[in-house]
Structure 1
Amino acid sequence: MTKFRAKLTLILIVLIGCSMLVAGIFMAKVLENSHTESLKQNMERELQVIAATNVWDRTGTEEELVSYYSSQAIRLKQATNERVTFVRADGKVLGDSDENPTHMDNHFTRPEIAAARSEGVGYMTRFSDTLHVNMLYAAIPIKDKNQQILGYLRISMSLAQVEETIRSVWLFLIGGLALLFLIAGIVSYRIARGITRPIERMTKVAQQITNMNYASRVPAYSNDEVGQLGQAINRMSESLQAQMARIQENERRLNGVMENMMSGIMMIDRDERITLMNPSAETILGFSSQELLGKRYNEAKQQYEFAQLIQECIELQDTIRDEMIFYYPEERILDIHLSPIAHEDEEWSGVLIVIHDITAVRRLERMRSEFVANVSHELKTPIAAVKGFAETLLAGALNDKETAVSFLQIILDESERLNRLIGDILELSKIESKRIPMNFSPIYLPEFLEKSLSVLRKEAEKKHIELSMQVDDDIYIEADEDRLRQIMINLLSNGIAYTQEGGKVRVRVEPLDANADGDYERLRLIVSDTGMGIPKKDLPRIFERFYRVDKARSRSSGGTGLGLSIVKHLVELHKGTIRVHSEVGIGTRFTIELPVIH
C-alpha cells in the first residue's frame, strides 16, 4: 500500500503541476502574441507616416537615386532606431540604412515584399545573420495616383525585447512551479495517507478472506465511501462463510462424475444462464467454461440453431433430442439431448443438455454410402455394355462375322476396363487403410525417369506427342520405387491422354532447400503438358475418387476416375505434397514436392 500512497501523491502533484504548466505556457504565448501584434501595428503606422512625408517619384540616374534614398534611410534610422529599406517596384534596393544597396540581392521575392504586393502590408519574422537576433520585418507598397506600384518601403526591428520578456515569464513560472510542487507534495501526501490507511486494513482483511479465513472483519470507520466499502467487505465475508460449506459439498459431488464423462454436459438455470460445463463440453463447443459460465445461453456465442433448440426446450418444458451440425471450432455432427430439470419444491428449475460427438460415426456412414454408390455406378456401365452386346450377339448378330468380331472386341475392352476399375478400387482401399508396406531405397532419378518415359513412349508416338525430361545427372532421392513409378505413370498417362496430337509432355526436377554444403533437402517434380487444360471450377475436386472433368472423354480413354486419388495418397505416404495449376486450352502442370531422405 506504500506504493499506492506514493503513486496517489505523485498523481496529485503531476495534475497540479501540469495545470500550472499549461496555464503558464498559454499565458506566455498570449503575451508574446500580444506584444508582437502591437509591434506590427506600430510599425505599420510608422511606415504610413514615412510614406506620406517622402517623395517617391524622384527621377535621375540609378547612382543618384541610390545615393538619395540611402541618405534618407540613414536619416530615418537616426529618428526611429529602426532599419529602413527603399525597394524599387522591380525589387532593386535603392536605399538601406545598414547595408550598401549595390551589394544587396533583389528583394522582389522576399516574403514581406510579396505579402505587401498582394495584401497591402507584409510582415515576416526571421533570424538576422548580421545581428544574430530574430528580426521583425514590415513592408508596404508605394503607389502613384493611378494605383501603380512605384516601390516598397520596409522597416525592421529586433525582437530581443519581446524574447527577454518571455524569458522573464518562464523564470517566474519555473520558480512558482517549484514552490507549488513543494506545497502540493506535502498536501498530497497527507491526503493520500488519510485515504490509504483504511484501505490498507481492508486489503489485509481481503487477503485473509482469500486464504479462507472468513472470520476476519474490517474495523468500523466513518460512514463515507471508504466506510461503506469496509461494511461491504464484512457482509461479503459473512456470506462467503455461509455458502462455502454448501459449495464445497456440491463440488465434491459433481467433479468426480463430470471430469471423466466422454459426453459433454451443460446446465442452464431458471434464469436462462449457463451454470455448469464439463471438460468434454468445452472441447465440443470450442469455448472454455470461463467464457460461458454465468452468461445467458443466447448471449454465449453459440450457434443460432443450438440456441433455438434450448429456447424450444424451455418453452415446452419437455425432453427434446436432435442431431445438429456445428461449424466451430471445426465441423462436427452432434447428437443433442435436452431435458428439463424439476425439483420437488419447484415446477421447473433449468435445462440439462447432454452432447454426444457422432461426427466420426456419420462420416464413416457417409463415406461408405458414397463409396458404394460410386462403385455401383462405375461398375454398372461396363456390365451394362457387356450384357447389351452379349444379348445382341445371342439375338442373331453372330451370323454377321464382322459385326460379331466388333461386338466381341467391345466386350473384351469393357471387361478389361472392369478389371482395371476393380484393381484400382482394391489398390485405393489398401492405400487409404495404410496396409501397404513402404520400401524406401535410394533412386537415381535420371535413370528412373527415363524408364518411366520409355514405358509410355509408344503410346505417345501414336499421337505424335513429344516426351521429354529435364533432370541433373547427380540427383538421387530416397523413395519406394514401385510407388513412385506408379505416381509418375499415372501423371504421364493423364498428360498423354488429354493432350492433342503433336503436343508435348514434359518432366522437370528441381532441387529445393539447399544447405551450406550444397546438399538439398527436398525435390520438386513437375509433370506438365500442353493439353486441353482443366477449368478452374474443377481444380479443387480433381483428386476426389471417381471425379472426372470430362466424363465422356475419360470413359472413352479407359480412365477409372481413381488415378489422381491414388497419386495423392501415394504422395502423402512419401510425406510430400501435390498441387495442380491449369489453364484451359494451354495445359496442365502437376507439382510434387518430396523429402530427399526419409
Structure 2
Amino acid sequence: MNKFRARLTFIFIALIGSSVLLAGIFMARMLQQSNIDSLKVNMERELRIIMTTVEWKASGFASMEERFQYFTGKALMLKQSADARVTFIQADGTVLGDSDSDPKGMENHSDREEIIAASRDGIGYATRFSSTLGRNMLYAALPVKAGDEKLGYLRLAMSLTEVEQSIRKVWLGLLSGLLVVFVLAGLISYRIAYGVTRPIELITSVAQQITDMNYKYRVKVSKKDEIGQLGIAINRMADSLQLQMNRILEDESRLKSVLENMISGVVMIDRDGNIVLLNRSAEEILGFSAPELLGKRFDQAKQQFEFTQLIQECIDSKAHIRDEMVFYFPTERILEINLNPISEVSAKWSGLLIVLHDITAVRRLERMRSEFVANVSHELKTPIAAVKGFAETLLAGALDDKETARSFLQIIFDESERLNRLIGDILELSKIESKRIPLHFSPVHLQSFIGNCLNVLRSQAMSKEIELQMSVPEDIYMEADEDRLRQILINLLSNGINYTPEGGKVSIRVEHMTGGSDAVESDKVRFTITDTGIGIPKKDIPRIFERFYRVDKARSRSSGGTGLGLSIVKHLVELHKGTIRVESEVGVGSKFIIEMPLIH
C-alpha cells in the first residue's frame, strides 16, 4: 500500500510539474519572441530614419577610400544614437562602412541571410552568433533604392544579451517557482494520496484480518463517500461472517459435545476407506485411542476380522447393515453394530457411518430376567407341587388316618407359608428395584434399636443354642428408615443363625467412622455382622447378592429361605446411599460389612 501511495504521489507531482514546466517554457518562448518582435519593430523604424540621413549617391565621392571613410564615420555616429551596430553594404555585397569593424577587412555580405531576405521581401531579419563581436545578435536589413535602382543595404545589429538575460531571469524564476511548486505539489499530492490510500489501507488490513478469521476487526468509517460505503460494506460482511461463524462454531461445539458424551461409539469412514472420526466411546469400545486410528484405512486398524469384513460388505453393497457381534478386545462384550452409508446431496456415496452400541448389559439383563422367570417358576412349582401332592393323598383316603392327615396338613401349611413368603419377597424386590418404596428418615438410637432386633431373633437362636452378641456405643444415633434398617439387620442376622451350626455365635458391632474436612459428608456408621457358620466359597462371593442364587441349594431350601433376602438387603443398603461387602472363609464363618451415612 505504501508503494501505491508513493506511485500515486509521483503521478500527481509529475502531472503538476509537467503542467507548470510546459507553461513556463511556453511563457519564456512567448516572452523571448515578444522581445525579439519588439526589437524588430524598433530596428525597422530606426533603419528608415537613418536611411533619410545618408547620401548614397556615388557622384559625391572621388574614390572608394572616401566612400569607406564617409560610411564608416556615419556608422560610428549613428551607433551612438541608435545604440546598435550599423553597417552600410553596397548592392553587390561589399561592406562600405561598419561601426564595430574595419569594412576593408570584412568579407562580402551578399550571402547573409538578412541581406537575401531584404532583397527578396523588402526587409530581412536574422539571428545568429557574431564571430566578430562574440555574442548572439539580431540583424535587420533594408534595401536602399533610388527609383527602381537598388543602391545597397542598410543593416542594424543589436545584441540579444539583454533579451537572453531577461529570458534567463524568467527561467531562473520559473525553475525556482517550479521547485516550490514541486515541494508544495509533493506535500499536497502526498496528503491527497494519503487521504485516498489510507482508508483503502485500513480496509485492506481489516479484510486481511477477516481472511485470517479475526472477525472482531471493523473499519472506522468517518466519511460517507465511495470509500466510506466500501468500509460500511466490509463491516456488514464481517458482521455477517462473524454471525455465521459463531453459529457454525456453536453447532460444531454442540455436535462435538453430543459425540463426546454419547454412550454409543461413532466411527466415520470416508470414501477412500480412511477413518476420519472417532468419538470417546468408540475409543473405549474398540480399545484404541483416536491418534492410533485416525487417518488409517479401516482394514489396517488392527480390528477384529469379522468387524472389518462387515465394513467391507457395507462398502460393497452401499446398504444399511445391522448385526450383533462379540468383541474380545479390550474386554469381552457384545456389540450391536449399525453401518449406514453416507450420501452427498448429489446422491454420490461419500463414506460410511458406524454406530456401536454396547449391549452386554442388556443381554445380561435379558439372561437374568430369563433366569429369574425360570427360578420363580421353579420356586413356585416346588411348594405348589407339594401342596397338590399331599392334598391328592388326603383326598384319596388318608383322611381316615388322623395322625397321617395331621402330618400332611402341617406340610401343606408349611409349604403355603413358604409360598406366601416367596411371593412377598418377589413383590418386595420388585418394588425396591423400581424405586417405588419411599424412605422415611428419622433419628434412630442404634443401641436400643439393635437390642430389639436381637430380641426378635432370640428364640430362633436359642433353638440352636447360638449365642447372640452386640457391641454398640450407647450415644450413637443415625438418620435412617427404621423399618428398612430393621429389615436389613434381621435378614443378615437370621441368615447368620440359619447357616451357623449349633453352639455357634452370631455378633453385631457398630462403629462411628469420621474423616475428611466436611463432617456431614464424611461421617458414617459401620455395621459388622459376624457368624461362625459354614462360610462361603470364594467363587460364590461375587454372586451371593444375585436373586435366587444359593451357595448350598439343598440346605437353603431346607432352611426355608427364598434366595431373595441378600438381593433385597443390597438394594435397601443402596437406597440408604450405603455399601455392603462380605468377607468369608469356608468352615470359619462370614462377615457382612455395611457402611451408611450418619446423616442424610
TM-score by length of 1: 0.52
Compared with structure 1, are the counterparts of its residues 476 and 301 closer, same or farther at alpha carbon in structure 2 (3 Å cutoff)? farther
Q: Report the residue type matching 2:457 in the other structure.
A: L
Q: Matched residues in 2 for 1:452 and 1:343: separation?
A: 71
Single out whichever of 563-572 and 337-346 deviates more from structure 2.
Answer: 337-346
Are 1:535 and 2:537 counterparts?
yes
Secondary structure at the aligned position of 1:537 is classed as coil
- CA drift of 1:391 comes to 1.5
Which residue of 563, 569, 572 corresponds with 2:571?
569
Q: Is the 8 A contact 2:372 2:548 kept in 1?
A: no
Q: Matched residues in 2 for 1:531 and 1:597: separation?
A: 33
Secondary structure at the aligned position of 1:295 is classed as coil
Compared with structure 1, are the counterparts of its residues 345 and 480 closer, same or farther at alpha carbon in structure 2 (3 Å cutoff)? closer
Structure 1 segment 109-148 matched on structure 2, within 5 A: none
Q: Matched residues in 1 for 2:298 and 2:512: separation?
A: 56
- CA drift of 1:281 comes to 6.0
Match of 1:389 in 2: 390
Match of 1:465 in 2: 466
Compared with structure 1, are the counterparts of its residues 357 and 438 closer, same or farther at alpha carbon in structure 2 (3 Å cutoff)? same
Compared with structure 1, are the counterparts of its residues 308 and 471 closer, same or farther at alpha carbon in structure 2 (3 Å cutoff)? same
User: Structure 1 vs Structure 2: percent identity of aligned residues?
Assistant: 72
Q: Report the residue type matching 1:491 in the other structure.
A: L
Q: Matched residues in 2 for 1:270 and 1:510: separation?
A: 65
Match of 2:561 in 1: 559
- CA drift of 1:269 comes to 3.8
Match of 2:375 in 1: 374
Q: Matched residues in 1 for 2:481 and 2:253: separation?
A: 51
- CA drift of 1:312 comes to 4.3
Q: Is the 8 A contact 1:266 1:353 kept in 2?
A: yes
Compared with structure 1, are the counterparts of its residues 356 and 498 closer, same or farther at alpha carbon in structure 2 (3 Å cutoff)? closer
Match of 1:29 in 2: none
- CA drift of 1:413 comes to 0.5
* Unmatched segments (≥5 aa) in structure 1: 1-206, 214-247
Compared with structure 1, are the counterparts of its residues 468 and 269 closer, same or farther at alpha carbon in structure 2 (3 Å cutoff)? same
Q: Is the 8 A contact 1:324 1:336 kept in 2?
A: yes
Match of 2:528 in 1: 526
Q: Matched residues in 2 for 1:303 and 1:210: separation?
A: 45
Q: Is the 8 A contact 1:324 1:335 kept in 2?
A: yes
Match of 1:70 in 2: none
Q: Matched residues in 2 for 1:525 and 1:344: separation?
A: 66
Q: Report the residue type matching 2:494 in the other structure.
A: S
- CA drift of 1:573 comes to 1.1
Match of 1:585 in 2: 587
Q: Matched residues in 1 for 2:440 and 2:399: separation?
A: 51
- CA drift of 1:329 comes to 8.4
Task: String of CA shifts for 1:38-88, please: whole Å, max 9, x gaps.
Answer: xxxxxxxxxxxxxxxxxxxxxxxxxxxxxxxxxxxxxxxxxxxxxxxxxxx
- CA drift of 1:542 comes to 0.5
Structure 1 segment 176-575 matched on structure 2, within 5 A: 211=212, 266-269=267-270, 271-276=272-277, 292-300=293-301, 302-303=303-304, 305-314=306-315, 320-325=321-326, 333-338=334-339, 351-355=352-356, 362=363, 365-513=366-514, 521-575=523-577
- CA drift of 1:311 comes to 3.9
Single out whichever of 519-528 and 499-508 deviates more from structure 2.
Answer: 519-528
Q: Matched residues in 2 for 1:562 and 1:452: separation?
A: 20
Q: Matched residues in 2 for 1:306 and 1:523: separation?
A: 50
TM-score by length of 2: 0.52
Count of residue pairs brought into register by the alignment: 355
- CA drift of 1:445 comes to 1.1
- CA drift of 1:341 comes to 6.8
Q: Matched residues in 2 for 1:584 and 1:286: separation?
A: 39
* Unmatched segments (≥5 aa) in structure 2: 1-207, 215-244
Q: Report the residue type matching 2:529 in the other structure.
A: V
Compared with structure 1, are the counterparts of its residues 350 and 574 closer, same or farther at alpha carbon in structure 2 (3 Å cutoff)? closer
Q: Report the residue type matching 1:510 in the other structure.
A: E
Compared with structure 1, are the counterparts of its residues 585 and 434 closer, same or farther at alpha carbon in structure 2 (3 Å cutoff)? same
- CA drift of 1:410 comes to 0.8
Choose 1 or 2 for highest CA Rg.
2
